């Protein structure tokens, strides 16, 4: 097989969609937060928390769908915590975000060890099965690639549509974008800036958490330590790459996942002598490159990182 | 609820804020101890005993604090300039890597030259690594938080590759570890029958030097000015870009020295688990120290004590050792709030 022939296999495209799923959830989650003017660096920890809590819900006897909802709920709680610090108290969004990541990931590990003190090999759950879409999945190659996925992957694509519609076609979305661009003007319109930012951060964090849950409930069936492995940070880079637009975010996530799926397959080709670590570096190097590429035209939401205090001029 | 700026902050408030925050964090984390079914005071007592209850515990805490002082200084100095360096972990590893590369047989010098040589080389490597995000920030406004974070993962993979390939010790029985640092480069122990080494003294000296730089020199003034208000600093003639570069070299250099100390002092050779997150812990150290270089010493000692003490506590009772990380994270968040409350008043209306 050739380096380029890989691109023609159904397995490659199926893997791309699978790898893209947590990135789509995470990137959209971060995008919603930033569109409302709040950087959420809690993402890495919130994804860890989602991975742990959704998995644990199922392991303790819950079913998969409520497990995902539970992960979303826990993620929203951490979003609330982040917004208390970053929105209501107006603390540095950088530092509180890092603090939230530290807290959420260490709490995930603590809770996991508390509930399963003696687990040496990671215990498993019955994860989401592949759900073939009737008729469509029978299309050769394309069907296997696009329509033989787990329900969470389909959900990710639906969420892109919902977020796009919500942000650009509803009054609520307009208000969210407004508090991220010009909170003072938004307040003059009678919009509750702090409330809306809190809501956006909670909703975004819920999505991030679901992205984490995908890893333990759909891609794998167990929870490992350090399993998020920088995916959250890649999502933060993807939001910039996507210039804060949901459609471009989907494209970015798919592009990254595609390159990731491709490098795994290139590694296994005969005659490839590049050490595997350099392949594993690809997503991180690409993220940095992506940020450099778009840097000249990056249009940050104007009020990103700027805390809003009522009655205070900036 | 409304926040009202205070006209002035009394000194006692500034000093008490981190202490109150620590107490608050310990109270919150007591909930986890209760959940684990252990009496809170007993558990915290064990933690304290494990951190400072014996000669062994004390020297272990000091050993653990050594790299944390340095990574804490790295974060403190960078955050002062609002250069968000979250890449301490990566800079730590390139420092360690450089010391290993030069110090495991490539260069042989008498100890009085060899040790400063390794420290300097490690510092340079750490500084240069942070230079990349700093230049990207200056030239292209690329967000340094994300680039420094991502570089951590890249550096770790490079170390992984080198330890399985070119730097792998042929005598290591297949373990991915480097050849040991030669005797001339090893940091000598400073307390008999303990792991405590010269690195601790170096870390203390670094804190004092950093404090002096920040307090008494033009560089320090410029770093603080750029962090406080970059536009105003530029207007008054300070080269903001130049200051960011300088800050990056200092900050990355300090984290690099932490890596040299661990490889040449504590462990003796390079492995992939040389650092249990010293770079990230440095951020917590700096926050708890309210970014003050001398307070970093106390802050690092305290947090190192939490880690060492929690290890020993979790061996005695049924509380997972991860409680240390939870306590540290809670401290960071509560310190942020307490510092804010020294600057603002909460008004309920």
Q: What are the pLDDT digits (tens) for B84-142?
A: 999 999 999 999 999 999 999 888 999 999 999 999 999 999 999 999 999 999 999 89
Provide the pLDDT for residue A273.
Answer: 81
Decide if A242 touches B, using CB distance below 8 A.
no
Angle value at C-alpha B50, between B49 and B51, nearest 5 degrees: 90
Interface probe with B: pick from A44, A87, A99, most Cβ of B within 10 Å: A99
Which of B79, B142, B329 has its CB closest to that of A103?
Answer: B329
Chain A residues in contact with B329 by the CB 8 A cut-off are 99, 102-103, 106-107
d(CA A164, CA A189): 23
Which of A95, A110, A291 has its CB closest to that of B336?
Answer: A95
Give residue-wise pLDDT tens across range B213-249. Answer: 999 999 999 999 999 999 999 999 899 999 999 999 9
Decide if A107 touches B, using CB distance below 8 A.
yes
φ/ψ bin of A150: left (φ > 0), alpha (ψ from -120 to 50), beta (otherwise): beta
Find the mean pLDDT for residues B196-211.
97
For chain A, how many helices (H) and strands (E)? 12, 2
Q: In angstroms, what CA-CA distances link B165 with A275, B122, B181, B218?
A: 9, 21, 18, 45
Provide the pLDDT for residue B349.
Answer: 64
Which of A88, A117, A236 has its CB closest to that of B146?
Answer: A236
Which residues are within 8 A (CB) of B310 and not within 5 positions of it... i.e. 6 or more apart?
B47, B50, B319, B321, B323, B324, B327
Percentage, residues of chain A above pLDDT 70: 98
Angle value at C-alpha B277, between B250 and B226, nearest 5 degrees: 30
8 Å CB contact between B89 and B274: no
Decide if A73 touches B, using CB distance below 8 A.
no
Which of B161, B333, B340 has its CB closest to that of A103?
Answer: B333
Instruction: Summarize chain B as % helix, strand, coil (round to 5).
Output: 70, 5, 25
Interface probe with B: pick from A44, A49, A81, A102, most Cβ of B within 10 Å: A102
Decide if A287 touches B, using CB distance below 8 A.
yes
**CATH code of the domain occupying A5-117+144-297:** 1.10.3470
Percentage, residues of chain B above pLDDT 90: 83
Angle value at C-alpha B261, between B122 and B89, nearest 5 degrees: 65
Q: To which residue do tokens 């390159």 refer?
A: A259
Which domains does chain B possess?
Answer: 39-317 (1.10.3470)
Decide if A91 touches B, using CB distance below 8 A.
yes
Decide if A103 touches B, using CB distance below 8 A.
yes
Tell me which H or E stretch contains A132.
strand A131-132
Three-state secondary-structure class, residue A197: helix
Low-confidence ranges of chain A (pLDDT < 50): none
Decide if A115 touches B, using CB distance below 8 A.
no
At residue B281 the predicted structure's pLDDT band, cuts being 50, 70 and 90, is: very high
Interface probe with B: pick from A110, A116, A278, A283, most Cβ of B within 10 Å: A110
Average pLDDT over all residues of chain B = 93
Give residue-wise pLDDT tens across range A38-71. Answer: 999 999 999 999 999 999 999 999 999 999 999 9
Q: Tell if the CB–CB gap between A98 and B79 is shorter than 8 Å.
A: no
Q: In angstroms, what CA-CA distances link B203 with A101, B69, B70, B179?
A: 27, 6, 6, 25
| C-alpha torsion angle, residues A109, A113, A118, A121 (rounded to 10) | -20
Alpha helices in B36-141 (DSSP H): 40-52, 55-80, 88-103, 111-140
Which of B3, B284, B323 has its CB closest to that of A102?
Answer: B284
Q: Tell if the CB–CB gap between A113 and B151 is shorter than 8 Å.
A: no
C-alpha atoms less than 13 angstroms from C-alpha of A220 in its C-beta half-sphere: 17
Tell me which H or E stretch contains B221.
helix B218-228
Q: Tell if the CB–CB gap between B325 and A109 is shorter than 8 Å.
A: yes
The tokens for A28 are 């959209």
Task: Give how far A143 is from chain B: nearest CA, Å.
Answer: 35
Is residue B186 predicted with pLDDT exceeding 70? yes
For chain B, how many helices (H) and strands (E)? 13, 2
d(CA A68, CA A22): 13
Task: Give how far B32 is from chain A: nearest CA, Å.
Answer: 9
Provide the pLDDT for residue A23.
Answer: 97
d(CA B77, CA B254): 10
Which of A102, A110, A234 has its CB closest to that of B320?
Answer: A110
Three-state secondary-structure class, residue B168: strand
Which residues are within 8 A (CB) of A22 and not within 5 positions of it... i.e. 6 or more apart?
A47, A211, A212, A214, A215, A219, A231
Other C-beta atoms within 10 Å of B15: how many?
A: 12
Its ipTM equals 0.93
Decide if A116 touches B, using CB distance below 8 A.
no
Domain map of chain A by residue range? Answer: 5-117+144-297
Is residue B4 predicted with pLDDT exceeding 70? yes
């Amino acid at each position: 097989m050739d380096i380029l022939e890989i691109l023609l296999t159904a397995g490659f495209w199926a893997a791309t969609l699978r790898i893209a799923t947590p990135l789509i959830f995470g990137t959209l989650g971060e995008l919603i937060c930033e569109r409302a003017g709040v950087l959420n660096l809690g993402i890495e920890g919130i994804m860890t928390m989602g991975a742990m809590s959704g998995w644990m819900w199922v392991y303790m006897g819950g079913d998969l769908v409520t497990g995902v909802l539970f992960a979303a709920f826990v993620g929203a709680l951490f979003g609330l915590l982040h917004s208390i610090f970053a929105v209501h108290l107006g603390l540095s969004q950088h530092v509180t975000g890092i603090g939230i990541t530290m807290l959420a990931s260490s709490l995930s590990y603590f809770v996991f060890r508390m509930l399963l003190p003696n687990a040496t090999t990671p215990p498993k759950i019955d994860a989401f099965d592949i759900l073939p879409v009737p008729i469509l999945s029978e299309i050769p190659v394309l069907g296997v690639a696009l329509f033989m996925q787990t329900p969470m992957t389909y959900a990710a694509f639906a969420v892109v549509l919902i977020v796009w519609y919500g942000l650009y076609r509803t009054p609520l979305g307009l208000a969210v974008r407004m508090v991220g661009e010009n909170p003072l003007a938004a307040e003059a319109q009678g919009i509750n800036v702090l409330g809306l930012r809190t809501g956006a951060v909670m909703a975004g964090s819920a999505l991030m958490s679901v992205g984490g849950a995908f890893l333990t409930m759909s891609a794998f069936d167990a929870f490992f330590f350090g399993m998020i492995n920088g995916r959250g940070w890649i999502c933060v880079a993807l939001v910039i790459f996507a210039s804060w637009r949901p459609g471009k975010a989907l494209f970015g996530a798919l592009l990254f996942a595609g390159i990731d799926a491709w490098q795994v397959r290139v590694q296994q080709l005969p005659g490839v002598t590049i050490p595997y670590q350099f392949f594993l570096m690809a997503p991180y190097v690409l993220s940095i490159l992506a940020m450099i590429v778009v840097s000249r035209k990056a249009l940050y939401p104007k009020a990103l990182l700027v805390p809003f205090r009522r009655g205070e001029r900036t | 609820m409304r926040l009202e700026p205070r006209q002035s902050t009394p000194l006692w408030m500034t000093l008490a804020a981190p202490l109150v925050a620590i107490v608050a964090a310990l109270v919150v984390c007591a909930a986890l101890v209760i959940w684990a079914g252990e009496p809170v005071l007993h558990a915290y007592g064990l933690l304290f005993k494990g951190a400072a209850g014996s000669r062994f515990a004390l020297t272990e805490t000091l050993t653990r604090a050594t790299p944390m002082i340095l990574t804490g200084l790295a974060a403190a100095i960078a955050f002062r300039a609002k250069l968000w360096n979250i890449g301490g972990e990566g800079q730590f590893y390139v420092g360690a890597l450089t010391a290993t590369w030069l110090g495991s047989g490539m260069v042989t010098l008498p100890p009085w030259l060899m040790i400063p040589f390794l420290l300097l080389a490690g510092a340079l490597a750490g500084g240069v690594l942070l230079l990349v995000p700093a230049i990207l920030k200056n030239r292209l406004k690329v967000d340094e938080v994300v680039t420094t974070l991502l570089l951590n993962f890249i550096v770790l993979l490079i170390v992984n590759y080198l330890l399985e390939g070119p730097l792998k010790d042929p005598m290591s029985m297949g373990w991915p570890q480097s050849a040991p640092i030669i005797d001339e480069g090893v940091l000598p122990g400073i307390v008999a029958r303990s792991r405590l080494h010269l690195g601790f003294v170096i870390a203390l000296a670094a804190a004092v030097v950093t404090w002096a730089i920040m307090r008494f020199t033009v560089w320090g003034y410029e770093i603080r000015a750029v962090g406080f208000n970059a536009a105003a600093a530029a207007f008054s003639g300070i080269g903001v870009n130049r200051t960011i570069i300088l800050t990056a070299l200092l900050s990355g250099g300090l984290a690099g020295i932490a890596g040299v100390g661990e490889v040449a002092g504590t462990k003796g050779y390079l492995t992939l688990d040389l650092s249990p997150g010293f770079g990230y812990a440095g951020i917590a150290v700096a926050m708890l120290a309210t970014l003050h270089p001398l307070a970093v010493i106390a802050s690092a000692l305290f947090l190192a004590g939490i880690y060492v003490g929690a290890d020993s506590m979790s061996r005695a009772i049924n509380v997972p050792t991860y409680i240390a990380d939870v306590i540290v994270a809670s401290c960071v968040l509560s310190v942020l709030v307490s510092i804010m409350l020294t600057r603002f008043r909460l008004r309920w209306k």
